[in-house]
Amino acid sequence: MAQERTLFIIKPDAVRRGLVGEILSRVERKGYSIEEMKMMNVNRELAGRLYFEHEGKPFYEKLISYITSGEVVAVLISGERCISGLRRIMGDTDPIEAAPGSIRGDFGFDGTMNLVHGSDSTESARREIQLFFEA
């Protein structure tokens, strides 16, 4: 099995709704470790670097506006196969499609304001961790 590191972001709607503790407890109960964590505001430049692969798509501006709309909690997570495991804990981007028991399935109600972000591959994880923790 592969020990991995990944970026996990608790987005502005989850912070505003007081879900940070609940979300982090789910991550820890799964057995993943929190290596670093910080509450911060994401500026437009950082948001553009995070979501660069979506630039030019119809939903890009909504993504940027949303992630910059309030405080986020950026978390560096490590653990056995944590990239795919966290994506399962997060649930489908569309909260209607997200499985009950997942973060988005239990707490989500909007596809854009979807509570959390997690890296989708080891390459993305390396790049995203550098943006938030090694810059």
Out of 117, 118, 119, 128, which one is annotated catalytic?
Answer: 117
Active site (annotated) includes residue 117: yes
What the block records as the tokens of 8 is 């996990």
DSSP symbols for 46-110 = HHHHHTGGGTTSTTHHHHHHHHTSSEEEEEEEEEETHHHHHHHHH--SSTTTSPTTSHHHHH---
Active site residues: 117
